[in-house]
């Protein structure tokens, strides 16, 4: 069924401006209203839009223009920055360019190119000479963990400095919004607003901002004798904690809900938000990590996706359920199909899961580092 013939999903739009206020400026009543709206959204559809996030229209436009400029650099410059060409074995720390078909969460070819960036350290980032960008010092750790890396960029004769600054600025904005949402979700879990914050300390320096340029499927020419299935982004659930999506212009996002695929029409000025598998499993499935994909067909599309993570070594306690709060077995069974606990390598199969899925064995960062290894092609 083409996107035009699929039902449009009415996702709630939640004003999160109260979460961005200082503690002494936000009324308990308004905080509770916002937390209740977040809880209702992630307990049903699993995806919602946010307004009142504090990212101005001008900043969104600047970021969108920067993304287009970045993907407009020469093929030679893309190759210089290519994760695959540079033989970066660990996709978990990959920074730089990802070509068409070089990443997929399934057997399909994802007809998109991407660029991955993260936290800005005080190192000389490849392609740019150091320039002051704020007063906070950010020395590179002597030992980087499996999710940390220094960003790489096109040289200044390929990408102007202002475009890079716009992307760094958007990363900071997305981090601030995510940290505010963490307070709201703490309350949605029935805890104090500050409950999750200590577990998220340092999470920004392993979080990722990923930029995508989706092509019309017809632009991908297979070198295989048998034609391959094409898609924008394979059906998947997000592995991690929180995802924020900025969609400049054309839609294409689809969410599986009530037994069918639904389109999620764009709403200018808002951000799409969903929780990931790890967060859902913390709540024993009470918060839903939605199955979603990107279908573009003959359309060209850009998107900016921010994956916000808790601290690398965090062990967030899994919530327990009282008898009257027990999660239905259908939801518990659904946890076993999450992307976090399935093998997404090219010839992967579902991993053998026990009846009880727990998060006690390894810290958060280890889960996510393992997953990035599976999607590189």
Query: What is the tens place of the pLDDT at every residue in 208-232?
Result: 999 999 998 887 766 654 567 788 8
Yes or no: say if 247 and 303 are a contact pair by the CB < 8 Å rule: yes
Closest C-alpha among 361, 364, 337, 360 to residue 349: 337
Rg of the chain over CA atoms, in angstroms? Answer: 20
Distance of CA 311 to the CA centre of its chain: 16
What is the DSSP-derived secondary structure letter of residue 342?
Answer: B
Yes or no: say if 71 and 197 are a contact pair by the CB < 8 Å rule: no
The confidence score (pLDDT) of residue 23 equals: 79
Alpha helices in the chain, H assignment, sequence order: 28-42, 57-71, 75-80, 161-188, 277-282, 329-335, 364-375
Torsion over CA of 48, 51, 53 and 57, rounded to 10 degrees? 120
pLDDT reading at 72 higher than 70: yes
Percent of the chain that is helix, strand, coil (3-state, to 5): 30, 20, 50
What is the DSSP-derived secondary structure letter of residue 350?
Answer: B
- What token pair was written down for 210? 């990923």
Mean pLDDT over 176-182 rounds to 97
The confidence score (pLDDT) of residue 106 equals: 64
Kind and range of the H or E element at 48? strand 47-51
Q: Is pLDDT larger for residue 350 or for residue 61?
A: 61
Q: What is the mean pLDDT of the chain?
A: 83
Closest C-alpha among 119, 127, 83 to residue 202: 119
Q: Which long-range contacts (CB under 8 A, 24 or more apart) does 62-65 make?
A: 62/162, 62/166, 62/169, 63/166, 63/167, 63/169, 63/170, 63/246, 63/248, 63/304, 64/246, 64/248, 64/249, 64/302, 64/304, 65/163, 65/166
Plot region of 59 (φ>0 → left; ψ -120 to 50 → alpha; else → beta): alpha
The string of pLDDT tens digits covering residues 23-70 is 789 899 999 999 999 999 999 999 999 999 999 999 999 999 999 999
Yes or no: say if 150 and 125 are a contact pair by the CB < 8 Å rule: yes
Closest C-alpha among 26, 308, 313 to residue 176: 308
Q: Is 287 helix (H, G, I), strand (E, B) or coil?
A: coil
- What token pair was written down for 13? 């739009």
Between strands 253-257 and 292-294, the pairing is antiparallel
Q: Give CATH for domain 3-375.
A: 2.60.120.330
Q: Is pLDDT larger for residue 335 or for residue 112?
A: 112
Strand order in the sheet with 112-118: 13-15, 47-51, 271-275, 242-246, 301-308, 208-214, 112-118, 96-98
Mean pLDDT over 293-319 rounds to 91
Q: Is pLDDT larger for residue 371 or for residue 191?
A: 191
User: What is the largest distance, in Å, between two alpha-carbon atoms of the chain?
Assistant: 65
Name the residue ranges covered by the structural domains of the chain: 3-375
**In sequence order, what are the residues at sequence separation of 6 or more whose Cβ sits closer than 8 angstroms to the Cβ of residue 136?**
none
Length in residues, the chain: 377
The band of 250, judged by pLDDT with boundaries at 50, 70 and 90, is confident
Tell me phi and psi for residue 33, to 5 degrees: -60, -45
pLDDT reading at 345 higher than 90: no
In whole angstroms, give the CA distance from residue 289 to residue 242: 10
């Amino acid at each position: 069924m083409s996107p035009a013939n699929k039902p449009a999903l009415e996702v709630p739009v939640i004003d999160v401006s109260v979460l961005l206020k200082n503690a002494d400026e936000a009324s308990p009543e308004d905080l509770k209203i916002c937390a209740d709206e977040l809880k209702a959204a992630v307990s049903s559809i699993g995806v919602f839009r946010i307004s009142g996030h504090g990212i101005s229209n001008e900043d969104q436009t600047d970021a969108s223009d920067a993304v287009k400029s970045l993907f407009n650099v020469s093929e030679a410059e893309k190759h210089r920055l290519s994760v695959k060409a540079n033989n970066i074995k660990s996709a978990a720390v990959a920074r730089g360019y990802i070509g068409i078909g070089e990443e997929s969460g399934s057997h399909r070819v994802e007809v998109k190119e991407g660029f991955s960036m993260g936290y800005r350290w005080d190192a000389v980032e490849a392609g740019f000479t150091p320039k002051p960008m704020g007063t906070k010092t950010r020395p590179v750790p002597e030992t980087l963990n499996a999710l940390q890396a220094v960003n790489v960029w096109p040289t200044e004769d390929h990408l102007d400095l202002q475009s890079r600054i716009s992307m760094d600025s958007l990363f900071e904005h997305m981090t601030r919004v995510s940290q505010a949402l963490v307070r709201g979700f703490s309350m949605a879990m029935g805890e104090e607003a500050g409950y999750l914050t200590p577990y998220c300390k340092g999470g920004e320096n392993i979080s990722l901002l990923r930029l995508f340029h989706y092509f019309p499927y017809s632009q991908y020419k297979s070198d295989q004798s048998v034609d391959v299935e094409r898609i924008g982004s394979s059906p998947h659930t997000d592995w991690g904690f929180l995802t924020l999506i900025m969609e400049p212009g054309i839609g294409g996002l689809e969410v599986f809900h009530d037994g069918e695929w639904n389109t999620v029409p764009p709403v200018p000025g808002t951000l799409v938000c969903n929780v990931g598998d790890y967060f859902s499993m913390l709540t024993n499935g009470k918060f839903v990590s939605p199955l979603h994909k990107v279908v573009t067909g003959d359309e060209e599309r850009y998107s900016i996706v921010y994956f916000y993570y808790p601290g690398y070594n965090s062990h967030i306690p899994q919530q327990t359920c009282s008898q009257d709060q027990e999660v239905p077995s259908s939801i518990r069974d659904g946890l076993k199909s999450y992307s976090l606990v399935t093998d997404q390598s090219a010839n992967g199969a579902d991993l053998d899961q026990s009846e009880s899925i727990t998060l006690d064995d390894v810290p958060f960062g280890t889960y996510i580092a393992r997953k990035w290894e599976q999607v590189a092609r």
